[in-house]
Chain A
Amino acid sequence: MSFREKSAWISLVVTTGLWGYYFLQILRAPEGWRGPLSLGLLLVVLVATGFLQGGLHAVAAIFALKDAAAPIDERERLISLKAVQMSSFVLAAGVALTAGGVFYGLNTVAMANGILGSLALAEAVRAAGVIIGYRRQA
């Protein structure tokens, strides 16, 4: 498995794990507590994402130094572009649904979480798209 495929796996696992935890806690919380809880949890998730992504990528790079330092080539760029194309559709759909929800009484906290959820889902789809691209052309 190439370094860049490992990188996509790291992003997928970290994103789904941390944001899955975030939204599980938000959904379990009583309605009135969701605002302050969202802010606190958001900071925790962002810091944990930085540490986990950075740390796991560093470990993966140590075991494949040459692979990690190699510049991206045309096939990898194509895989990346296709994955971003898929994820941008998910992001746009999520943001549009969240914006539409405002007309049906979505409050500001739910709207913020809708956008955060769209970002997290788009990143998970991007990482999954990269993995699928590498698997199909392995």
Chain B
Amino acid sequence: MASPPPIRNAVRRLRFDHGEMTQQALADAIGMTRQTIVAIEAGKYSPSLEAAFRISRVFGVGVEDVFQWDG
């Protein structure tokens, strides 16, 4: 089984910092499914660069404030 990518993210914390935004609301905002947000938060899926930018735009922060290389 493939090891998880060495990237951690602050999506869960940022959601709560933004009025406890739901996973579904974030998913709708970036055109993804809620299950994909769940997978990203759990560190089981690393989104594409485009999706990473979309997520950071929703929270009004830079990409590196959301995703950090952990290798």
> Which residues of chain A have a CB within 8 Å of any CB of chain B?
2, 67, 70-71, 73-76, 134, 136-138
User: Of B1, B36, B47, B48, which is within 8 A of A76 by CB?
Assistant: B36
Cβ-Cβ contact count across A and B, 8 Å cutoff: 33
* Residues of chain B lying within 8 A (CB to CB) of residue A74: 32, 36, 47-48, 51
Q: Is A138 a contact of B36 with CB atoms below 8 Å?
A: no
Interface pairs (26), CB distance under 8 Å: A2-B33, A70-B33, A71-B31, A73-B31, A73-B32, A73-B33, A73-B36, A74-B36, A74-B47, A74-B48, A74-B51, A75-B32, A75-B33, A75-B35, A75-B36, A75-B39, A75-B45, A76-B33, A76-B36, A136-B44, A137-B39, A137-B44, A138-B35, A138-B38, A138-B39, A138-B44
* Residues of chain A lying within 8 A (CB to CB) of residue B47: 74-75
Beyond A137-B44, A138-B39, list 18 extra A-B contacts (CB 8 Å).
Answer: A2-B33, A2-B35, A67-B33, A73-B31, A73-B32, A73-B36, A74-B32, A74-B36, A74-B47, A74-B48, A75-B33, A75-B39, A75-B47, A76-B33, A136-B44, A137-B45, A138-B35, A138-B44
Distance of A72 from chain B, by nearest CB (Å): 8
Distance of A71 from chain B, by nearest CB (Å): 8
* Residues of chain B lying within 8 A (CB to CB) of residue A136: 1, 44
Distance of B54 from chain A, by nearest CB (Å): 11
A126 and B7 CA atoms in complex are apart in Å by: 29
A114 and B47 CA atoms in complex are apart in Å by: 40
9 smallest A-B Cβ distances: which pairs?
A73-B32, A137-B39, A75-B36, A137-B44, A2-B35, A137-B45, A73-B33, A75-B45, A73-B36
A76 and B27 CA atoms in complex are apart in Å by: 13
Docked complex: B36-52 residues within 8 A CB-CB of A: 36, 38-39, 44-45, 47-48, 51
Q: Which of A71, A75, A136 has the most CB of B within 10 A?
A: A75
A75 and B27 CA atoms in complex are apart in Å by: 12
